[in-house]
Structure formats: C-alpha cells, structure tokens
Amino acid sequence: MVFSVALYLSLALFAIGTVVKISTWFTRKVGVFGRHFTTAQRVGGALKGIFGVVFSAKIAALLRALILDVLLQMRIAKEDRLRWVMHLLIYGGFMLLLLMHALEDHITAKLFSDYYSTLNPFLTLRDIFGLMVMVGVAIAVYRRFILRVPRMMTRPMDHYAIVIVAVILLSGVLLEGAKMTSHSEFIRMVEDYAGMDDEEEIKALESYWVAEYGLVSPTVKGPFEAGILEKGYEAHESNCADCHAPNASAFMGYTAAKILAPVAAGLDRANGVTVFWYIHILACFFGLAYLPFSKMFHIVSSSVSLLANAVMDPETSLPENIATRQAMELDACMHCGTCSLRCSVSVAYEANGNAMVLPAEKLAALKAYAADKALSPKAWAALGEGIVLCTNCDRCTVVCPAGINLRELWLSAREAILSKDGVPLLMLSPFSLFRGLNRHRLPARGYERPLKALRQAMADAFPLVRDTETRIPVTPVDKDFKTEAAGTGPGSTFAYCFSCENCTTVCPVVEAYDNPQDAVGLLPHQIMRSLGLGLKDLALGAPMLWNCLTCYQCQEHCPQGVKVTDVLYELKNMAAKETAAGS
C-alpha cells in the first residue's frame, strides 16, 4: 500500500515536474534571439523542426549523436578520461539497476522465464551494477573534493546529486545485508518456500545458513559439527538451492551482512529490514519525484541538447527554435565545469575573483535571470562584467559535454543584459570585437545604446572636457593626480613633452576626422599637456582615450621619448578605477 501510493505519487510528481520544466523551454527568454516569438509559435516551430529532421537525411546525424554522444558520451571521453569512466559507471550502473532490479517485474521477469532475484547471475549482477555506481560516486567525490579540478565550483545542487545517489545505493546494500542476517526473514522464507516441518532438519538448515549464508540466529550459533552442516546442506539443496544462489555471490550485501553481524540480532528485533526498505524505496521515489528540479534532470535535458546540437545550426535553423534551444540549454548544463576549466579568460577570475567570468557560473546566473529571479545589484554588475569579459574564443562551446552552443548563448544573452543599466566600461575595449563582427545578426535597435550610455557616463564623470566656458584653475596643481600618473612607470615620461604635436600629427584617429577635437575631445598632445598641468578631468575624461587604436604611432614618433600610448593605457586604467569607485 505504502509502496503503491509512494510510487504513483512520485511518478505523478515526476511527470508534472517534467512537463513544467519542458514548458519553460517554450516560455523562457534567454536573450534577444527569437525574443518576439510567442509560446505557441515556438511549440509550432519545434514540431516543424522535429518533423523536418525525422523525415530527412538529418536523421543519420541524429542517430549518430544518440549513440556516440548520448549513450557512449564520447564528448566527455575526449575531454577527461577519468570523468568519462566516472560518468559511465554511475549512469551505466544506475540504468542497469533500474532495468534489471527496479523494474524486475516488468522487464527482467518477462525476458527470463526462470528469473528470481535470488538466483545467479541476477544476484551477482545486482551487486556488480551497484558497485559500478559506488565506484563512480567515489570518483565524483574524489574529483570534486580531493583532486579539486581547477575552477570547478560546487553548488548545493551538486551536493544533492551525490547525496541522493549515495543514499539510494547504500540503503540498498544495507537492505540486502540486513536481509541476509535477519532471522525473521529466514523463518519467513522457510515457511513460504521450503515446506519443511521436521524441527531437526530446519535446525540443520539454519546452522548451514549461519555458517555459509551470513544468517545471524538468536539460537543457533557456531562452530558447527560437520555432520550438522552436512545435513543442513542436504536440506538446503532439496529445499532452497533451486531458488537461492549463495549469498556470498551478492558480494556487497554479503560484506554488509558480515559487518552488521554483531548488531544483527538487535537490528532484526527492531525490524531493520523494513527500516532499510523504507529508506531505500523512499529515497528512490524522492529522487524520482524531485528529478525534474534537480541536477539529475540533465539525464533528459543534456540528451535533448546533444541531439539538438547534432541537427541545429545557428545560421539556418528557425529563429523560434533557436530561442527554445537556448532556454533548454540552461537546463542542459549539469555544472560539470569543463568550460570553466578551459576558459580563455579564467585568469581574470583567478586575479579578481568574479566567478561570473567563468562560463559555468555565468550560465547558472543566466538561468536565474531567465527565470525572472531578481539578481542583487552586485550580482548584476558581476554578470555584466562576466558577459563582456569574454574573448569569444569558442572553447567553452567546443568542450561542452552537453553540446550547449555557449557562443550563441552569450551572443544572445549579452544583448539582453546590455539593454539594461550598468553597462561595464570593459565594453570600450577589444572585448567588443565579436559583437562588432556580429552586428548584422543583432537587433539594429539597441546596438549603439550601451556604447552611447558609456560615452555619456564618461562625459558626466568628467564634464570639464566638453565645457569650454568654465575657467579651469591650473594652480594649485593636483599633485596627487600627477604623482599617481607618474608613479606608473611609463606615466612618468609625460614630463618630457614639449608640445611638438608629433603624436597628434601621426595619429590615424585624429587624421580620420575633419574636426577631431569635436570627436575625441582632446588630442594626444593636449592630453599629455593636461597631465603636465595636473588637470585630472581633462586627462581622464577625453573620449580620445576610448578611441585610441593602440597602434603606437604616437609613441614611436615622439622625439622626447614620451611613452604616449602607454600613458593613454595608464589613463584608461585610472579612469576605469575612478568611475568604478564613483558608481
């Protein structure tokens, strides 16, 4: 009764959870790609897409991905052998247990007419499958907590995944062990299956089971005479052996039985078998019911992602399907950290501690964002920096074992994030190259917005650059600023400037404008002079800084050895600090 109620309840919760989860793939919006499509359009697009794949040559690619990527997980093998072994052990062992053991009535018994869970090979196989999972979990714990794979972070969901699998497995082994030791189980089996009524014979059988099967009896204790065991063996052969292989062949349960032996009598009185049974099946049912909301959902979502990856293409797939895929991909991430391990800008995290620079953490934040969970201003700023501080080197996309197209995910999500307040100054740097290269794929409206917002923010922070009316006092000199600028190595060389304007003459940016001062505020030689005069607002606020190509023509051509380009770099760094402190 309890079993049936718990089973159907957890199955129902699993089904509802899965439907809810999958429905979010069609409702959530990750970024700008396909943003305007309605849920109905996205469902329609998905059906069309699936239909188109199944009835086309693409089915071959789909099947290939199903075998190589989903079942054999070759993408993991390519990246990390140990992890592949770990994953195959857990997933392979668990699947086999599910099919052979959990669904024994529905599958194994149907396939094998002489099936008994207590007969070999099934008895041994169950323990072999269990051992596979346990070794896999042990490797998982080792990787996460002892080996400490760089930049692999552990969130509560990672703990849960390890704990739920471990509880199911351990309770199963303890249940098996407790059953072996249990005297009441023995009596029940004798009554149910043996049909023996000779007390002597039962006692002999009991002695034999105590000696050979790990049974702990309150009355019968070894050592036994050879004659008794001989008699017990005969009783066993004629009454039990047909349906019960040696307990020792279930090596894990048998080991557990040996460990439990000293407390077995008490355990049996306390109904230990029932207790372990409840723990075991309730853990299984809890795991099942909670699966759609846990990391374990990646069984479904990562598989879907791998299949989608095999047949979808950012350039040719329906845009509504790309939006759906991106929402799905947020669920497909199992937070394995392979992307973060290979991330090209991971040093920025190691140096400054913003975990959102790392793809795996960034994706977790995007997931919260797409689910309309409010991010704290601090987390929002960190995410903004993380989404811009990316060279789009593609490595995360190449290595992702779930086939998530992170490159497209970032491209799409970046626009959504940049359409809000709090654009990081980092945008005014070569990090924006990829966005520029993909301008034609992004919504035209909004493309310039973050750049304009930043220019405006800089103009507001340093208003004197545009203000030609205000008289700027040159005394007293801002000594602090001059000292700070001069203290940076190349910065000190500005003092040699005698305003020959060579730097400005050779500057290709200045050259490109009819009226350069309008465009860039101060020209390079004017910035050097502003520094000399200690005019912080002018030196730090000139738009010239953020329009500098860093081509080093000015520095190369300075007759005085002023490190002009390097000074501009220093000023940009100082302006970044200054505006970050002020915001």
Partner 1 sequence: MMKFALFLGCNIPARVQHYALSARAVLARLQVDLVDIREFTCCGYPMRNTDQKTALLFSARNLALAESRDLDLLTLCQCCFGTLKKAAHLLEKDASLKEEVNAFLAKEKLAYEGKTRVKHLLAVLHEDIGPAALKAQIQGAFKKLKIAAHYGCHALRPSDVMQFDDPVSPGILDALVAVTGAKSVDWSQKLECCGAPLLGVNDDLSMKLTAGKLADAKASGARFLTVACPWCQLQFDGVQSRMETEGRTDADLPSILYPQLLGLAMGLSERALGLSMNVKDIHGVNAFRVE
Q: Which of 277, 327, 546, 567 binds partner 1 (CB under 8 A)?
A: 546
For the stretch 201-204, contacts whose Cβ atoms lie closer than 8 Å and that sit 24 or more positions apart, written own/partner, are 201/231, 201/235, 202/235, 203/228, 204/228, 204/229, 204/231, 204/232, 204/235
Phi-psi label, residue 422: left if phi above 0, alpha if psi -120 to 50, beta otherwise: left
Q: How far is CA 540 from CA 459, 469, 537, in A?
A: 10, 19, 5
Question: What are φ and ψ of residue 455, in 5° steps?
Answer: -60, -40
Minimum distance, C-beta of residue 545 to partner 1, in the bound complex (Å) = 9
Q: Is the CB of residue 70 less than 8 Å from the CB of residue 303?
A: yes
What is the pattern of x (binds partner 1, CB under 8 A) and - over residues 130-169? --------------------x-------------------
Q: How far is the CB of 528 from partner 1 (least distance, A)?
A: 16
Positive or negative: CA dihedral 356, 357, 360, 366: positive
What does the per-residue mask of binding to partner 1 show for 354-393, with x meaning CB under 8 A? -----------------------------------x-xxx
Sign of CA dihedral 331, 335, 338, 344: positive
Burial class (CB in 10 A: 0-12, 13-18, 19+), 489: exposed
The contact pattern for partner 1, residues 1-40, with x = CB under 8 A and - = no contact, is ----------------------------------------
Distance CA 334, CA 337 (A): 8
CB of 9 or CB of 512, closer to partner 1? 512
CA dist., res. 521 & res. 466, Å (int): 7
Task: Give the number of residues written for the chain.
Answer: 583
Per CB under 8 A, does 508 bind partner 1?
Answer: yes
Identity of the residue, 75 or 126, whose beta carbon is nearer to partner 1 in the bound complex: 75
First-last CA distance in the chain: 62
- Considering only 350, 467, 480, 518, the residue that binds partner 1 (CB under 8 A) is 350
Which CB, 114 or 313, lies closer to partner 1? 313
Rank residues 100 and 531 by Cβ distance to partner 1 and give the closer one.
Answer: 531
Question: Counting Cβ atoms within 10 Å, is residue 180 exposed (0-12), middle (13-18) or buried (19+)?
Answer: buried
Q: Is 344 in the site for partner 1 (CB under 8 A)?
A: yes
Which of 326, 345, 432, 334 minimizes the C-alpha distance to 395? 345
Residue in 22, 345, 355, 379 binding partner 1, rule: CB under 8 A: 345
Q: Which of residues 440-499 bind partner 1 (CB under 8 A)?
A: 440, 451, 489
Judged by CB under 8 A, the stretch of 262-270, 331-339, 424-432, 477-485 that binds partner 1 is: 424-432
Enumerate residues 6+ apart whose C-beta is below 8 A from 186. Answer: 206, 209, 215, 217
Q: Residue 286, interface with partner 1 (CB under 8 A)?
A: no
164, 306, 343, 358: which one contacts partner 1 (CB under 8 A)?
343
CB of 333 to partner 1, least distance (A): 21
Count residues binding partner 1 (CB under 8 A). 55
In the complex, the residues that contact partner 1 under the rule CB under 8 A are 150, 342-348, 350-352, 389, 391-395, 407, 425-437, 439-440, 451, 489, 508-509, 512, 546-547, 549-553, 555-556, 563, 565-566, 569-570, 572-573, 576
